[in-house]
């Protein structure tokens, strides 16, 4: 609690230090501005003034003709004069209310007072009725400029600065029951009020919270949110504003319903994993397709600067994603980058600087020096060996020793700088964003840097032609050498450091770095600090993403468009292991080794489309046809070298021996697609689409695939019969479609030949041999998906609810099936089985409080995803075993009738506490009193493997959730994002070496409470240290390794303050402080989002092999607009 209070106080202190008073209304009018309007609409003119003068205009569209064209130029003139020149010819005037300017009828800018009646006079014979009143907001504040109109006529008026109005209407006693006034105002819902016998009618308007007219990026185009009939999760520009994070995926955590985003590792610039609707495959990839500005890209999105992002849409169901056909089976993530808008040139600068630390609660509790010496002493005594003198007196190490985890980790700085320029001339729009990001990892020696530039331009030489060009070069550099995984014979620094003896020191007596870090019980370990500092790992990537298009309107509504997209990448990884570093069991000095690995990637996409849009008699049609061609090629050259003579000469050419290998990968895709969007009176919605893909990855007999879909929607709330007042909007949706998954090898259907090496006469020769068996029938994994949903807005849209239910059948799963050994091969890849997926998704947006001073909004999303194996054709067992192997047994199982990738092993049942317990219990061959006890599942009276193995747990959560709160008070803003999941387990494989009961390693502190004797049985989790028996608990998968993976994480807390400025050259200035990974509630001792196995396919998830720790980041930033 003290930590949380301190963090909040820190945020408040930073923001409050910059607090100043708001400018007064007169000061708004006195500011000088410059602008040029050339035949712009009134709406465009007011938007330009808003950006230039930092004001907010409010008006009624019944008073202001927003499409009327005006021209005006001003140079360093007062805002009051500019408004007078703009509005007076239009017979309009303005009223200043606080920081807003209301546009109302009238020739002057004086206080309104009593308003005139309608602009025409009643006949002498008629009797008039004068109606007065006040129009207020939901907080009781008067609203100026509200349009008040007698329904069915043009007679009307507007409210004054205090919200007062007066309107004269014909008084006909016989029709008073139907006399209705219509109140309308931008940003508020229209309201109709029956007058009856009243002469005073006061009205409180409710905010119009609808985002239904928002234009959303969908596959191959855009749609109004109201017209969408599929399941799409959207993160708008407002939600992605100024994120102090390194990666795009971090911005999205907890914000998209049906999308699980985990930070599986804290490696700088890496570690994010995205899965849509619990997507998983047995062996094929399960990651979504990423589309950036219309181009399907290969690889991840880590190279994209988050500051470049305008919006992100995730297509979840088949109706939304089927236009991407064979690649859409795992969902599609559409990323739209920022573009310029017409208006004055704007320059924005944003920066933050912070520090990363590892929270103490995320550090594994290892034995200290005294505890370790006592442990080693007891091992020797229990096994009848002489106790080494170093361990005879453990008390001598009290308060001493080395915490190796702290030795190889640090507090690391992180910094980011972004500069953008947006210019919008009449026919030419340009947006330029440049960024630099640097993150030093919390593990010494690791780090990440990124340089990025994005140029987006749009040229419209005429009303019929649009020419767009985007160019995005980037450069990244990381030093993230091996950190995750087990310590045995590797350079995985996290596991290696944890297992190292706390009696060893990283330094010699003279303060220099020691060569090794061993004690009398160790086989020999390297000095892991020296490994971190001296290992050379340089990963450099130069990338380019570019697209250009030309669009021509042939006739009204019919447009032709051609697009050329290019993705280039050049990656080089250089490694060098000097003689001074080693691996577990192989301490230095050793023979230096190195490698130089270069991969070049070329990816191009050509799109050619025709679109037609038309509206007539309530019908609306939007049609698309498209032809697409794509080709990918990668070239890899690897040089591995050894026998260096000097650590200082690290080039591979200096090695005594080098081996060169090369590889070329290539695939192509040819596609035809079409889509029809139709609606009638914006109530009845229909979408149908189809894509036909031909892929070089599949066999000649299954090379082409068809991927159709259809969806319908009904906006019930627009029907005349709808009278449910609390429900302001109701839309029902349903869809069905087919998508595919082609994330397999490029030549899986072919029988390929590869290099092999053989020894002849003590000389190594290279030859060629067949790698695999081909299958000309190899085809797509297909997903057939049904989705129903509803969008419901309540209480004048203050509550917005979205619900989806989906069922998916994934068939023709790709898997390597065993073949007779006589074939010369062990397996062949083919289509074998079927998976089922189903789930519920709930999204809730609420506006809790909204007034001129304070706004509080909340977004909640819940996802319940399930999967089940329905068919497998794997010979006899109807089961597939995957994951890690211990003593010949796998850690995960996928079998018919159960979910994919369940944990597999024995059921841990404590320890044999004493002889009686041992005699009365089933036991394994090597079991003894004090060893771990397993449950006899097959009832044969003994423990045997795998006969007593079973499914032991699930890596799949029962539900995942995200909660976002955004609060704005005056100029302060506070954002809070919470994520979590519930009901899954994690296989803590790191305990395999960190609870090694008879080994030369340091172990977890809790091992102290192990079985020592019948009178000291311990907690029952860990057995004895008797040599020859400890492998039973170390090397047998069991429930002892499983831990609860449920968690609730305060992912981000950001507090900001926007300064009210009087400086004409500065448009806006905001300072903020942010905490990423602020607070984590979980019983799991490490990172509960971890997954170090099969991250792509997800078929053996939930494994922690000692992953890179996820740090907490505290940063301070500033955003400046010029």
Q: What is the pLDDT of residues 355-366, one digit of tens each?
A: 999 999 999 999
Buried b (16+ CB within 10 A) or exposed e, 488-526: eeebbbbbbbbbbbbbbbbeeeeeeebbbbbbebbeebb
pLDDT for res 20: 32
Per-residue pLDDT tens for 119-174?
332 233 345 788 999 998 776 778 887 888 888 776 788 888 788 999 888 877 66
Of the listed ranges 12-16, 425-429, 676-680, the least confidently predicted one is: 12-16
Cα 373 to Cα 522: distance, rounded to the nearest angstrom: 12
CB of 679 closer than 8 Å to CB of 688: no
Burial class (CB in 10 A: 0-12, 13-18, 19+), 1042: buried
| Cβ proximity of 869 and 895 under 8 Å | yes
Instruction: Please compute the mean of the pLDDT values over residues 590-601 and round it to a whole number.
Output: 94
Instruction: Read off the pLDDT of each residue in 658-663 and give the average, rounded to a whole number.
Output: 91
| pLDDT score at 173 | 65
Residue 512 CB partners (closer than 8 Å, separation 6+):
none
Span 935-953, average pLDDT: 92
CA end-to-end distance (rounded Å), the chain = 41
What confidence score (pLDDT) does residue 187 get?
63
- Taking alpha carbons only, the member of 152, 157, 170 closest to residue 118 is 157
Question: Which residues, including other chains, have CB under 8 Å from residue 126's CB and lie 6 or more apart?
Answer: 170, 171
Report whether pLDDT(449) > 80: yes
Question: What's the mean pLDDT when you consider all of the chain?
Answer: 86
pLDDT of residue 98: 59
Predicted local confidence at residue 163, as pLDDT: 86
Helix axes 42-53, 79-87, angle to 10 degrees: 180
Report how far Cα 726 is from the mean position of its chain's Cα atoms. 34
Confidence of residue 208 (pLDDT cuts 50, 70, 90): low
Q: Is the pLDDT of residue 281 over 50?
A: yes
Quote the CA–CA distance of 686 and 972 in Å, as a whole number: 44
Phi, psi of 974 (to 5 degrees): -135, 125
pLDDT per position as a tens digit, 436-445: 999 999 999 9
Which position has the higher pLDDT, 54 or 193? 193
Question: Under 8 Å CB-to-CB from 17, ≥6 apart: which residues?
Answer: none
Q: In this predicted structure, which of 328-342, 748-762, 995-1009, 1029-1043 has the lowest mean pLDDT?
A: 748-762
User: What pLDDT, on the 0 to 100 scale, is given for residue 258?
Assistant: 94
Mean pLDDT within 189-213:
78
636 - beta bridge partners?
599, 663
Domain with CATH 3.55.50.30 in the chain: 31-105
The answer on pLDDT for 9 being more than 70 is no
| Residue 1107 DSSP one-character state | P
Nearest CA-CA partner of 1023 in 934, 1083, 1112: 934
* Alpha-carbon span 173 to 151, nearest angstrom: 17
- CATH topology for 128-204 is Immunoglobulin-like (2.60.40)
Q: Where in the chain is the domain with CATH 2.60.40.1120?
A: 128-204
- The fraction of the chain above a pLDDT of 70, given in percent, is 92
Residues constituting the chain = 1122
Reported for 107-110, long-range contacts at CB under 8 A and 24+ positions apart, including other chains, are 109/80, 109/83, 109/84
Check pLDDT > 70 for residue 23.
no
Contact 814, 787 (CB under 8 A): no
How does DSSP classify residue 122? P
How far apart, in whole angstroms, are the C-alpha atoms of residue 447 and residue 812?
A: 42
Q: What is the pLDDT of residue 27?
A: 66
CATH code of the domain made up of 215-351: 2.170.130.10
Rounded to whole angstroms, how far apart are CA atoms 630 and 608? Answer: 12
Q: Is the pLDDT of residue 400 over 70?
A: yes
Taken in order 364, 366, 368, 369, the sign of the CA dihedral is: negative
| Strands of 954-1015, DSSP E | 959-969, 972-982, 985-988
Question: How far is residue 606's CA from residue 549's CA, in Å, rounded to a whole number?
Answer: 10
What residues have CB less than 8 Å from 354, skipping those under 6 apart?
Answer: 244, 413, 414, 415, 1074, 1113, 1114, 1115, 1116
Please state which of the ranges 84-93, 224-233, 243-252, 701-710 shows the lowest mean pLDDT: 84-93
CATH 3.40.50.300 fits 31-105, yes or no: no
Greatest Cα-to-Cα distance within the chain, rounded to the nearest angstrom: 124
Q: Average pLDDT, stretch 553-565?
A: 95
**Average pLDDT in the 550-566 region?**
95
Q: Angle CA(1086)–CA(1092)–CA(1097) in degrees, nearest 5?
A: 135
Model confidence at 926, pLDDT cuts 50, 70, 90, reads confident
User: Which of 53-67, 372-386, 735-749 shows the lowest mean pLDDT across its residues?
Assistant: 53-67
Cα–Cα distance measured from residue 1044 to residue 1048, given in angstroms and rounded to the nearest whole number: 12
Torsion of CA 389, 393, 394, 395, to 10 degrees: -150
How is 793-805 classified by DSSP, letter by letter?
EETTTTEEEEEEE
Q: For residue 569, count other CB atoms closer than 10 A to its CB.
A: 20
Contact 961, 863 (CB under 8 A): yes
| SS3 state of residue 535 | coil
Could you tell me where the beta strands, DSSP code E, fall in 61-187? 69-78, 92-97, 100-105, 128-136, 147-150, 156-158, 164-170, 180-185
pLDDT at site 424: 80
At residue 405, φ and ψ (nearest 5 deg) are -65, -45
- Angle among Cα 1033, 1035, 1040 to the nearest 5 degrees reads 45
Burial 673-707 (b: 16+ CB within 10 A, else e): bbbbbbbeeeeebebbbbbbbebbbbbeebbebeb
pTM of the model: 0.80
């Amino acid at each position: 609690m003290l930590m949380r209070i301190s963090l909040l106080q820190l945020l408040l202190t930073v923001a409050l230090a910059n607090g100043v008073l708001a400018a007064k209304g007169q000061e708004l009018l006195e500011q000088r501005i410059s602008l040029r309007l050339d035949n712009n609409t009134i709406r465009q003119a007011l938007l330009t003034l808003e950006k230039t003068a930092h004001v907010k205009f409010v008006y009624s569209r019944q008073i202001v003709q927003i499409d009327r064209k005006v021209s005006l130029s001003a140079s360093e003139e007062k805002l009051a004069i500019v408004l007078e020149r703009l509005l007076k010819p239009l017979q309009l005037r303005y009223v200043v209310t606080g920081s807003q300017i209301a546009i109302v009828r009238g020739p002057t800018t004086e206080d309104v007072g009593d308003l005139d009646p309608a602009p025409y006079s009643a006949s002498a014979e008629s009797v008039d009725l004068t109606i007065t009143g006040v129009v207020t907001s939901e907080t009781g504040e008067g609203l100026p400029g509200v349009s008040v109109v007698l329904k069915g006529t043009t007679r009307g008026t507007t409210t004054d600065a205090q919200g007062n109005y007066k309107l004269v209407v014909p008084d006909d006693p016989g029709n008073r029951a139907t006399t209705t006034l219509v109140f309308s105002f931008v940003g508020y819902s229209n309201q109709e009020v029956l007058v009856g016998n009243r002469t005073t009618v006061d009205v409180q308007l409710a905010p119009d919270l609808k985002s239904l007219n928002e234009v959303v990026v969908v596959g191959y185009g855009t749609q109004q949110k109201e017209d969408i009939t599929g399941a799409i999760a959207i993160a708008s520009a407002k939600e992605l504003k100024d994120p102090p994070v390194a990666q795009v995926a971090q911005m999205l955590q907890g914000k998209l319903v049906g999308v699980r985003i985990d930070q599986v590792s804290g490696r700088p610039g890496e570690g994010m994993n995205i899965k849509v609707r619990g997507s998983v495959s047995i062996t094929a990839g399960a990651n979504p397709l990423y589309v950036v500005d219309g181009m399907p890209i290969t690889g991840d999105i880590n190279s994209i600067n988050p500051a470049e992002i305008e919006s992100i849409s995730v297509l979840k169901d088949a109706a939304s994603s089927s236009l991407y056909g064979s690649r859409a089976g795992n969902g599609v993530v559409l990323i739209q980058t920022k573009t310029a808008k017409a208006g004055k040139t704007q320059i924005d600068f944003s920066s933050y600087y912070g520090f990363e630390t590892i929270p103490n609660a995320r550090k594994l509790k290892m034995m200290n020096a005294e505890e370790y010496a006592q442990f080693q002493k007891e091992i020797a005594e229990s096994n009848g060996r002489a106790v080494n003198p170093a361990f005879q007196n453990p008390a001598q190490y009290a308060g001493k020793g080395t915490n190796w985890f702290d030795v190889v980790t640090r507090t690391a700085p992180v910094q980011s700088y972004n500069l953008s320029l947006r210019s919008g001339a009449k026919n030419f729009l340009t947006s330029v964003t440049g960024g630099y990001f640097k993150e030093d990892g919390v593990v010494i020696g690791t780090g990440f840097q990124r340089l990025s530039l994005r140029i987006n331009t749009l040229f419209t030489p005429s009303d019929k032609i649009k020419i767009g060009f985007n160019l995005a070069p980037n450069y990244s550099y990381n030093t993230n050498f091996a950190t995750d995984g087990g310590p045995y014979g590797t350079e995985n620094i996290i596991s290696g450091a944890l297992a190292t003896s706390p009696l060893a020191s990283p330094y010699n007596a003279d303060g220099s770095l020691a060569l090794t870090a061993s004690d009398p019980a160790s086989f020999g370990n390297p000095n892991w600090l020296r490994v971190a500092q001296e290992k050379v790992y340089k990963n450099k990537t130069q990338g380019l993403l570019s697209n250009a298009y030309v669009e021509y309107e042939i006739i009204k509504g019919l447009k032709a468009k051609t697009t050329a997209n290019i993705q280039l990448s050049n990656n080089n990884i250089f490694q060098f292991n000097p003689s001074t570093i080693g691996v577990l069991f192989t301490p230095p000095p050793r023979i230096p080794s190195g490698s130089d690995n270069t991969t070049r990637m070329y990816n191009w996409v050509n799109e050619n489309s025709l679109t037609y849009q038309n509206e007539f008699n309530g019908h609306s049609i939007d049609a698309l046809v498209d032809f697409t061609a794509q080709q990918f090629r990668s070239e890899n050259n690897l040089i591995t070298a050894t026998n260096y003579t000097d650590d200082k000469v690290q080039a591979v050419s200096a090695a005594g021996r080098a081996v060169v290998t090369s590889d070329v990968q290539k695939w192509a895709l040819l596609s035809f697609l079409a889509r029809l969007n139709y609606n009638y009176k914006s109530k009845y919605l229909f979408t149908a689409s189809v894509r036909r893909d031909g892929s070089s990855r599949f066999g000649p007999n299954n090379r082409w695939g068809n991927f159709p879909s259809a969806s319908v929607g009904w906006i019930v709330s627009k029907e005349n019969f709808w009278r449910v007042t609390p429900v302001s909007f109701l839309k029902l949706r349903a869809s069905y479609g087919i998508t595919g998954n082609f994330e397999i090898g490029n030549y899986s259907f072919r029988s390929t030949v590869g290099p092999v090496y053989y020894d002849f006469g003590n000389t190594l020769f290279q030859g060629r041999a067949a790698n695999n068996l081909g299958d000309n029938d190899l085809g797509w994994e297909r997903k057939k998906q049904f989705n129903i949903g509803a969008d419901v807005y309540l209480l004048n849209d203050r509550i917005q609810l979205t619900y989806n239910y989906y069922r998916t059948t994934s068939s023709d799963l790709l898997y390597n099936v065993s073949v007779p050994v006589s074939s010369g091969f062990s397996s062949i890849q083919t289509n074998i089985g079927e998976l089922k997926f189903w789930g519920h998704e709930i999204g809730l947006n609420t506006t809790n409080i909204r007034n001129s001073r304070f706004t509080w909004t909340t977004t909640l999303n819940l996802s319940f995803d399930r999967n089940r194996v329905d068919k497998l054709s794997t010979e006899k067992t109807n089961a597939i075993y995957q994951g890690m192997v211990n003593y010949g047994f796998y850690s995960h199982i996928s079998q018919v009738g159960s979910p994919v990738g369940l944990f597999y092993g024995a059921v841990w049942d404590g320890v044999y506490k004493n002889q009686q317990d041992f005699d009365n219990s089933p036991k394994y061959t090597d079991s003894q009193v004090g060893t771990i006890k397993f449950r006899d599942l097959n009832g044969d009276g003994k423990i045997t493997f795998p006969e007593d193995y079973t499914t032991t747990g699930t890596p799949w959560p029962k539900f995942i959730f995200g909660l976002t709160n955004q609060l704005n008070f005056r100029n302060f803003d506070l954002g809070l994002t919470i994520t979590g999941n519930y009901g899954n387990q994690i296989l803590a494989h790191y305990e395999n070496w960190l609870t090694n009961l008879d080994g030369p390693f340091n172990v977890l502190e809790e091992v102290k409470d192990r079985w020592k004797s019948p009178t000291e049985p311990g907690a029952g989790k860990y057995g004895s240290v008797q040599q020859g028996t400890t492998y039973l608990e170390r090397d047998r998968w069991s429930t002892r390794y499983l831990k609860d993976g449920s968690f609730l994480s305060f992912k981000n807390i950001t507090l900001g303050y926007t300064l009210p400025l009087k400086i004409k050259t500065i448009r806006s200035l905001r300072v903020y402080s942010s905490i990423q990974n602020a607070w984590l509630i979980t019983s799991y001792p490490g990172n509960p989002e971890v997954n170090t196995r099969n991250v792509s396919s997800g078929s053996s998830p939930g494994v922690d092999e000692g992953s890179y720790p996820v740090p907490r980041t505290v940063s301070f930033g500033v955003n400046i607009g010029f």
